[in-house]
Amino acid sequence: MDFEKEAIDCILQYNPEAEITNRTEFPGLACKAVYVPGKNIVFHLIPVPFAGLQNLSPTYFQEKSLEYASLGIQLVHLWQDYWVTGQETVHSRIAAFSGSSIRIHARQAKVQRITKDDMRCFFTVNHLQGPVNARYNYGLYAGGQLVAAASFSAGRTVTRNGVAGRSFELLRYASLLHHRVVGGFGKLIACFIEEAQPDDIMTYADLDWASGKSYRALNFEQTAVTPPQMFWIHPADMIRYYPHRLPSHLTDEFKRRGRHGNIGDFLKDMGYIKIYNAGNLKYLLIRGY
């Protein structure tokens, strides 16, 4: 598989004006990039592995995202593992950046609570990071089809400015592949607010992909930039693992061998590579207090 060629062909399919860049045009990028001038987006194509990966600072991808954002350019870090494991979802995201998605207006859709099974099925197909455990799950239906969904955590008590209130986290939002539900995100948020009456809603925007624009449009305020997250990944299967969520077959094998000082050394011997993403932008929508 030629990851770079396939990714470039996909970007050009939706953005014929896109330009393959060189490092003098966009200095500081570690890998090949594609610039979409009409959208001010740069797709940074990151093979797994690539020469020099282990020499980069853990904060490299975050620093580049913030640097380019300060210049009015959205830098999208397109990692090869996401291309391999979620190619159709990535195609849909690239199409959305170009404005090529099929448009559905939220006023034509109906909001209703959905089951955990329906939520899991929807996010497995339509969200790059898949489903997550959630307390509240809402869907937007148009013509009897689920076209967008949002999931929220249970509430917890937090104190802001000396006042205790109920805080909830927006965990996931996605629309149907290759569709854009205009006003759908806001409609789902509004339904949740009406039912749960939160004092605030907190969420994160993935800096590898997102600029946070959709949150700011709904009056969320950026409150922090979270540190990059570290993952272990093997080039043979392209599956990311959090250090604290390693599968049992790896932890069991580490214990069985018993000759490595730590599990990191064991994973390196097994061919795993340590990578860091760009972190997240943290947002907060305050209603009460």
Average pLDDT, stretch 162-180? 95
The residues of the chain that CATH labels 3.40.960 are: 3-98
Find, among 132, 176, 175, the residue nearest to 154 by Cα: 132
- CA 260-264-266 angle, to 5 degrees, is 40
User: Would you identify the CATH topology of the domain 102-198?
Assistant: Aminopeptidase (3.40.630)
Angle between helix 87-98 and helix 3-14 axes, rounded to 10 deg: 40
**Class of residue 223 by CB neighbours under 10 A (exposed 0-12, middle 13-18, buried 19+):** exposed
Close Cβ partners of 273 (under 8 Å, ≥ 6 residues apart):
48, 49, 53, 54, 232, 233, 234, 235
Instruction: Specify the pTM.
Output: 0.93
> 227-245 pLDDT, tens per residue?
999 999 999 999 999 999 9
What is the number of alpha carbons within 13 Å of residue 134 lying toward its C-beta? Answer: 25
Query: Is the confidence at residue 63, as pLDDT, over 60?
Result: yes
- Could you tell me where in the chain the CATH 3.40.630.30 domains are found? 102-198
For residues 33 and 4, the answer to whether their CB atoms sit within 8 Å is no
Average pLDDT value over all residues in the chain: 94
| CATH topology assigned to domain 3-98 | Endonuclease; Chain A (3.40.960)
* Residue 161: per-residue pLDDT: 83
pLDDT digits (tens, 9 = 90+) for 67-108: 999 999 999 999 999 999 999 999 999 999 999 999 999 999
